[in-house]
Amino acid sequence: MSTPKSLPEDARARIAELRVAIDQVDEELVTLISRRAELARGIGALKGGPEGIAFVPARERAVINHALSVNRGPLPNDAIRGIFLQVIASCRNLEQPVTVAYLGPEFTFSHHAALLRFGETAILSAADSVGEVIDLVEHGKAHYGVVPIENSTEGVVRETLDALYRCSLNIADEMSVPVRHSLYGEGALDEVTTVYSHPQALAQCRNWLARTLPRVQTQPTSSTARAAELASTTSNAAAICQALAAERYSLNLLADRIEDSPYNRTRFCVVGQAMSQPSGGDKTSIVFSVKHQAGALIHALAVLEQHGINLTLIESRPTKEMPWQYLFYVDFQGHVHDPKITAALDAMREHCLFLRVFGSYPEADAR
């Protein structure tokens, strides 16, 4: 980065001094990160064997919370959290490379979520469906899977709920990722005549498009990544897509933060073979069914209220095995190893035909 020649000589000299100091700090950072990596590798060596996969959400949460507790600025906590997620992921993958399947294609929100949680050194594999992600993990072709489970404006992802019911995996972790939409293209904003994107992204930017580009034609695509590809080969076209996709197809930023709701977020869950250990701020996901009779559902849910357990989600889905029989998916705060939760689930089973715990894991909103 060059220094403007218009600056006074004393300012230019001071900038040069500060850059030398930054270079020295960067060297210290590399040394400390390398030292941390060696310590992490030592832990991995002590664990050994196939159980040495070092993804421990409760421990990682404790590490990040400790870092946030000593942060005195000027970087905000979100920036510190992002930095430590990448450091932890890099050290984890040094112990043993982690293979992660995610709902593809590349350069989508699911890809972005997988990168956020497991870092760029993980071995990422795009799958064509949520079911394929689950299959890859169940059959040992991936250590973990990352799939969307709920959007704050669109509701639950039913495909994910159905896939979880059919599999034997556990939810090991969750992430709450802000949905940020931007418009990318090759030309200028006032030259755009067509906007490509996934139907959900188009819907989430409907008001901005109507206000800013009222005469533009919108074209739905199978993914935001596909939208970027089309925008790169079509005259006067743009795409609502991720920065990763825009970079891949050499598109320029035309407008940033065009989503209609600034509060839109998507929950992604990490699925794996093992359940996470308690972290002190956990969430548990279960699925159950009850008899088709008056009051059956109320009696089952009343158990949670009687034990002072806070529900965060409830959703019903057809069993697809018998007509008019439903499964109920419930999330609540707490871990299955907590005595209160154990007692509540034992009591709840007395009112259920079937009950299964999908997993207990650190709650994203508690981080």
Annotation marks residue 99 as catalytic = no
Any idea what DSSP says for residue 198? -
Cα pseudo-dihedral 308, 338, 98, 329, rounded to 10: -40
- Which residue out of 266, 284, 332, 358 is catalytically annotated? 266
Please name the amino acid found at residue 127: A
- Write b or e for each residue in 192-213: b if 16 or more Cβ atoms lie within 10 A of its Cβ, otherwise e: bebbbbbebbbebbeebbeeeb
Run of H or E including 38: helix 9-47
Instruction: Please provide the distance, in angstroms rounded to a whole number, between the alpha carbons at the two ends of the chain.
Output: 36
Work out the burial of residue 174: count CB atoms within 10 Å of its CB; fewer than 13 is exposed, 13-18 middle, 19 or more buried: buried
- Using CA atoms, how far apart are residues 266 and 42, in angstroms rounded to an integer? 36
* Phi, psi of 318, rounded to the nearest 5 degrees: -60, 145
Helical spans, DSSP H, in 70-106: 77-95
The residues near 266 (Cβ < 8 Å, ≥ 6 apart) are 109, 113, 148, 150, 151, 152, 176, 177, 179
Look at residues 51, 36, 172, 29 and name the one whose alpha carbon lies nearest to residue 91.
Answer: 36
Active site residue 118: no
Cα gap 129→142, rounded to integer Å:
15
Q: Which of 55, 118, 268, 358 is catalytic?
A: 268
Amino acid sitting at position 235: S
- List the catalytic residues: 266, 268
